[in-house]
Chain A
Amino acid sequence: MKKSYCKVIESGFYTSIQDCGRPGWRSKGVPLSGPMDRASFNFANRIVGNVPALASLEITLSGPTLLFNDPVWVAASGAPLSLFHNDKEQPMGLPFLCDLGDLLRIGKIEKGARAYLSFLGGLQCRKYLGSASQFAPITPSGRLEKGDQLPFVSSLSFPDPLLAKNQEEADSLEERKFLRVRPGIDWDQCPLKLQSELKKTQFVIGSNNRMGYRLEGSVSALDFQPLSGVIPPGTIQLTTAGGLTVAMADGQVTGGYLRVLSLDQQEMNFLAQQTTGTPFKLHFVE
């Protein structure tokens, strides 16, 4: 039987295959992985009629160019970007058919950081430890590379799409200058002076990737070093130098800094759409 796939002609800035990640292996040091903005990822799957967590592409800042050897329905969601299907521009948030020999060129993200491309039936990539999410060395490669073949189940027919506007998706792309935080596991160990500094400080997003986001601001440094401990995604650690780091999808399972705050999934989705240089304040919620 002929295998259906699209070939990666250009990989884009940083594109990776993501499904819902690999829960169950963190006790062996394996990060959870999965999409950075779960709401937009789920929405992309829903537009092509998939159940939520099927393997899709996560596009960061600029997208790949794909050549199809068989027909399949696809759709994009998340941060706005340009989609050229055989040089014809396609809107985001609507499914369209890529046929044999078609070229799909995904351009730059105009605002935000991450978008998702879903395929009807999901990408049929090999799973490692129960997940297709790319993370080296669990998977042989950590991201898409030129020449990769992305397998799918070819189909011309299209099931009923779920096109209702998704409220969650709107949330991760909304414009605001604050991040909702909750007290973290070690909040009580954080000196009172630092607690009040954290509430007042203006932070700026520093370097960031799938492992984590750095929030730069002038908070006093800690004068003690805590023991290494568990860092679930969304944990915000106060480093000894007085900055904050947020553990994201590919974040290490343990870390050696004070776990002062945490973000819930909705706030992680929002942060995943932010880029370097954006200013923020922290809003404390109970």
Chain B
Amino acid sequence: MRYTLHFSNAKQYFVHLETPVDRQEQMLQLQAWVLALKDSLSKVLNETITEPRGFLILLNKEVTDDDLKTALEKTWAATAQRSVFSYKKWEFPFYKSAETSHDLEDYFKGDTQAIAAYWEAFLSHILKVQFYGFQPGFVYLQGLPSSLHLPRKEKPALEVPVGAVAVGERYVGIYPQNSPGGWQIIGLSPVSLFDRNRKPIFLLEPGDTIQWKEVDAHTYKKLKTKPRYIPNYQDEKIVL
């Protein structure tokens, strides 16, 4: 990956990628690179935060630009040689709840056929976890074709329920807690993306994929109330 180093202050650098990360293998490579960098800078590194255009490096001690550049080059060279990356392929239950279909009804002006077609198309797509942000546990899911993009609401809803599956332009999200939100709600998932009583507290990693499985109201409620619920997944590998 080609990148430039943006210096914010003595302990904060932004690694700016020439082209934003988009494909699953790029996401996995980026993750692997960041992990390798964490090892290599373990004595001075506070944390890293990834986004599509690159990642932020937060240090607890000042280092020279040259030392940082060397560490970045070495860890990228090692990552670029790797050909196998592992990820999790998740199956997330999806419930076409009547209580949460107002946004689709508004958007399609009550056309029930259009709504049914939207749901059918939406459920057939496998999405990829791109990055975390907005709230604890909130992930930006990528991979929705442009025909299914929905505009953000002009006025955010004051209360979006936990588990709401929502579309905002090109991204899909699942609300990890009740909160205000400006994306169009299209259904509910019983999966808690953040649960401080569960191990792991956060389920997803960038590069993981999510496939939807439609469930009825009864199953949704049963899974929703299951303590420390973890949905089905398979360990997968991608070979470059």
Q: Which residues of A contact B (CB under 8 A)?
A: 23-31, 128-129, 137-138, 182, 184-185, 227-230, 232, 252-254, 262, 264
Contacts and interface: CB of A to CB of B under 8 A. Distances in A.
Range of interface residues on chain B? 20 to 34
A227 B52 contact: yes
Contacts of B47: 23-27
A253 B50 CA distance: 10
A105 to B, nearest CB: 34
B196 A128 contact: yes
A252 B135 contact: yes
Nearest to B10: A264
B134 A232 contact: no
A182 B10 CA distance: 12
Interface of B: 6, 8-9, 12, 14, 16, 20, 46-53, 55-56, 58, 131-140, 176-177, 194, 196, 201-202
Contact of A228 (B9, B51, B177): B51
Given A184-B8, A252-B133, A264-B9, A28 B202 contact: yes
18 contacts: A23-B46, A24-B46, A27-B49, A27-B132, A28-B137, A137-B136, A137-B196, A185-B8, A227-B52, A229-B52, A232-B12, A232-B56, A253-B49, A253-B132, A253-B133, A253-B134, A254-B131, A262-B9
Contacts of A137: 136, 176-177, 194, 196
B196 A232 contact: no
Contact of B140 (A25, A27, A228, A262): A228
A25 B48 CA distance: 9
Contacts of A138: 136, 196
Main secondary structure, interface of B, reads: strand
Contacts of B202: 28
Main secondary structure, interface of A, reads: loop
B51 to A, nearest CB: 5
Nearest to B48: A27
Contacts of B136: 25, 28-31, 137-138
Contacts of A252: 133-135
B189 to A, nearest CB: 17
Contacts of B12: 232
B137 to A, nearest CB: 6
A227 B20 contact: yes
A264 B46 CA distance: 16
B9 A254 contact: no
Contacts of A29: 132-139, 176
